[in-house]
Amino acid sequence: MALSAGSPPVASTSEAFFGKLYESKDGERIRRCLQCGDCSGVCPYGYLMEFPPSRMITRLRADEFDEVLASDAIWLCLSCYACTQVCPKQIPLTTSLMTRAKEELLLAGRVPAELQAALENSQRYGNVLGQSPRKRSEWAKGLTPPVPVLSKEHPSTEVLWFVGDYPSYHARVQGVSRALAKIFHALGVDYAILGADEVSDGDSQRLAGERGLFEMLASKNSQAFGKYKFFAIVTSDPHAYNAFKNEYPGLGISYPVWHHTEFLADHLDALRPLLTREVKARVAFHDPCYLGRANGIYEPPRELLGAIPGIELVEMAHNRTMSLCCGGGGGGMWLDGFHWEKAHTRTSEWRVQEARTAGADILAVACPYEPVRFEDAAKVVPGAEGLLVRDVAELLAEALGE
């Protein structure tokens, strides 16, 4: 990659990209790549990619990264951390190589149309669904007791519940929010939400290459956080969890954060006696990428499910570190058409098939992308029509009884 004598001092695409990788955390580890190809083998869509991770590195080393950037196959990357998990040299493939490559395409304006809409919605409305920001807490309307919203009159709380885009707006996932509110009330948690002050955490937009948008959203959330007093953030969204835990601190925004399964497992002594209603079912737990692989939380959701009377836990073929992405990560939530065009299959269908093979009646989840994706998949996978998809919070709320 050295410049030959007399050539103008202009960095090639590969050199410029290499420089950008170095700026990212642990990015210099890219030099250690053994070319073993494990990353490409474990990638759920690796078999479809013109340049799966290991081959991207090959081209980078050969000073031929232009070819990689000329392909749009990078949008198949679900940022699911499977490659990062298996890499024997601990190269942060998801956060550096894959995300940086998406950033390059995005800056060049080469964004699939459906992803573009989600990004524009995030810019304008602060949520990917393009809903009115004023209606962010409408899911809580009519709940008794009411869900407390932080305001000038109510400026402090112990737990700030960061609700997130899908749990706020998506009709199916709003049910998870209502279930969590019910559990908080049963436990007597001192909590409140931000209401219209909350905007998308921005993590999936960041992993889809829109770093600037992520920073804009983080700064809006930071302003909202700064108006109130609280001790910790709790969220049902592993993507928000990941953002607050691993990305916001780099922007000077630092708060303790708990995923709801982590928080509730921590309160299991108080919760267990309240779980009086039997839920008779075989339940398989799907490890969300950003709870499991990205943040190492595997046991709390299983402890919670195990505490529900009547539930028999079964494991699917892919579990814990080897979990299989639902297809929604890294912008995948807004690339369904693109993925279908390239793959003619969905990872969510493979997952639902696994749940069926494991003999599960219920596929338990812990990420707001999943109820929608798996319920959709269950409709078309033969034999999976009867499979129920429930967030851990929904199963707990059911077990609370009245």
- For other proteins, the binding residues (CB under 8 A) are 106-107, 109, 111, 113, 116, 119-120, 123-125, 130-132, 134, 210-213, 215-216
Q: Are 328 and 368 contacting, i.e. CB atoms less than 8 angstroms apart? A: no
Q: How far is the CB of 391 from other proteins (least distance, A)?
A: 27
User: Is 379 in a helix, a strand, or coil?
Assistant: coil
| C-beta of 10 vs 113, nearer to other proteins | 113
| C-beta of 109 vs 382, nearer to other proteins | 109
| C-beta of 183 vs 213, nearer to other proteins | 213
| C-beta of 159 vs 213, nearer to other proteins | 213
Q: How far is the CB of 327 from other proteins (least distance, A)?
A: 22
Strand locations in 18-163, DSSP E?
Answer: 159-162
Q: Residues with Cβ < 8 Å from 20, sequence gap 6 or more?
A: 27, 100, 103
Q: How far is the CB of 116 from other proteins (least distance, A)?
A: 4
Q: How far is residue 126's CA from residue 270's CA, in Å, rounded to a whole number? A: 36
Q: How far is the CB of 210 from other proteins (least distance, A)?
A: 6
The amino acid occupying position 51 is F
3-state helix, strand, coil in the chain (%, to 5): 50, 10, 40
| Structure-token pair, residue 222 | 């930071």
Length in residues, the chain: 402
Q: How far is the CB of 216 from other proteins (least distance, A)?
A: 5
Q: How far is the CB of 111 from other proteins (least distance, A)?
A: 5
Q: Residues with Cβ < 8 Å from 144, sequence gap 6 or more?
A: none
Assign residue 231 a region (left: φ > 0; alpha: ψ between -120 and 50; beta: otherwise): alpha
Q: How far is the CB of 214 from other proteins (least distance, A)?
A: 8
| C-beta of 106 vs 189, nearer to other proteins | 106
| C-beta of 130 vs 309, nearer to other proteins | 130
CA nearest neighbour of 57 among 12, 105, 17: 17
Q: Residues with Cβ < 8 Å from 103, sequence gap 6 or more?
A: 20, 209, 210, 211
Strand locations in 94-250, DSSP E?
Answer: 159-162, 191-193, 232-235
Counts for the chain of helices (H) and strands (E), in that order: 19, 8
Q: How far is the CB of 135 from other proteins (least distance, A)?
A: 9
Q: How far is residue 46's CA from residue 49's CA, in Å, rounded to a whole number? A: 5
| C-beta of 6 vs 109, nearer to other proteins | 109
| C-beta of 197 vs 210, nearer to other proteins | 210
Q: How far is residue 286's CA from residue 320's CA, in Å, rounded to a whole number? A: 8
